[in-house]
Amino acid sequence: MKNLDTMSEEFDKPASVNSNSDVTSSESMTSRAYSRLRDDIISGVLKPGQKLKVEKLRQEYEVGSSPVREALSLLTSDHFVERMDQRGFRVASVSATEFEELLKTRCWLEERALRESIKNGKSGWEEQVVLATYRLSRVPRTEDGDHFIANVEWEKRHKHFHMTLISACESSFLLKFCDQLYDQNVRYRQLSGKAAYPKRDVTAEHGAICDAVLARDEDLAAKLLISHYDNTGNFLKENMES
């Protein structure tokens, strides 16, 4: 899943090896800046096309200029940030065409990962799927019953649910690609998801996928998963076109 900042332990070291702790500190600051920037882009706090000025980000995230630049370079590789020739960085743009490609690729990869997981998954994996489904169902999607306010805890459990479904596919490369595409998709959903919320019973959709997985019905599980993604995808495409 998603990488977390690691906490380094403190040891008494002679002055001659203090450079190691300096490197660790620098890596930690870069990781911190990367995580904050990535989360703000995915959640929509930083808008598509918005210029990312190092000095402003340095002050806002309370890290040095070098970690910010390194984080921006990493996010460029992740396709969340675009580098402008001689003009710095900006948040990656979005488009209906790009989303169409994203959705299609995600469906291809996750269908294969799900089928492989159903073939290879043991009882322990089934238990994790059930637990992830239950935990997701226990939290509301919105923090306000009258107005849609994205629930951060729901978002975390939602990703855990979908990644658990495919976690037994026995391919670390496939899981990595699916993880990256999931986050790209969330970015699009966060930009348009408010209007989609009242029209869907996503809890029932998740439950149906879980039941098909437990029944080891590859075809039904894949069909339900793709339908689940298409329901969101069709709305997002309509929203972008309008």
Domains and CATH numbers, the chain: 15-91 (1.10.10.10), 96-241 (1.20.120.530)
| pLDDT at residue 82 tops 50 | yes
The predicted pLDDT at position 191 comes to 79
pTM above 0.85, yes or no: no
Q: Which pair of structure tokens corresponds to residue 137? A: 């169902």
The CA distances from residue 167 to 7, 37, 112, 229, 238, in Å, are 26, 27, 12, 18, 32
Region for residue 86 given its phi and psi (left: phi exceeds 0; alpha: psi -120 to 50; beta: otherwise) = left
**pLDDT above 90: percentage of residues in the chain:** 63
The predicted pLDDT at position 130 comes to 98
Q: What span, in angstroms and rounded, lies between the C-alpha atoms of 204 and 231?
A: 13
